[in-house]
Structure 1
């Protein structure tokens, strides 16, 4: 039992309760409540991706990764980082607007040769 209690503390799933008079008093942390909702798979993903990400990836790729959708998270991260960098586009463009700007028709006809992607609209 003490090993299980120690594991909960080590994973920051429980914490000491400051408003109680006994040292043994503890409460479930925010992370503990997330763990209760999402389970061990979520906790393993959080521990693997325990780094700060650029804002675009924080709101696009991290949620997919935490849900266990690793392939989609990797593809999303690649699109956000690689497409933006290769096209030399602003950080203010995201999602569909980013892809339209990167792969759409060039604003300057001389840029046509530098475009290697093709965008199709359906």
Structure 2
């Protein structure tokens, strides 16, 4: 689940359904370091593709590449993708012995003021 917030602490008028648009969400996930990270670690692309093919609304790379992530509609969809053959195969290529995978939930906190 992903909660979005508008200006001045008001809820996004489009509500929680806005994030379901992959085109809209993918615009928020631009990472200027991703091309360089993909050159250094070619296994990133198949993992990102596997996340998308397994139902992620969007997928991306954090920072310079320590984390590849997918955004799913809910925790069961994320768990199913993580257990699926496509993602497991991509992880077996991309993951090191020190890596881990898991399902996390996004949180929204009220503005302080």
Greater C-alpha radius of gyration: 1
**Which protein has greater RCO, CA pairs closer than 8 Å, 6+ apart?**
2
Q: What interval of TM-score do these two structures reach, taking the shorter chain for normalisation? A: under 0.3
TM-score relative to the length of structure 1 = 0.22
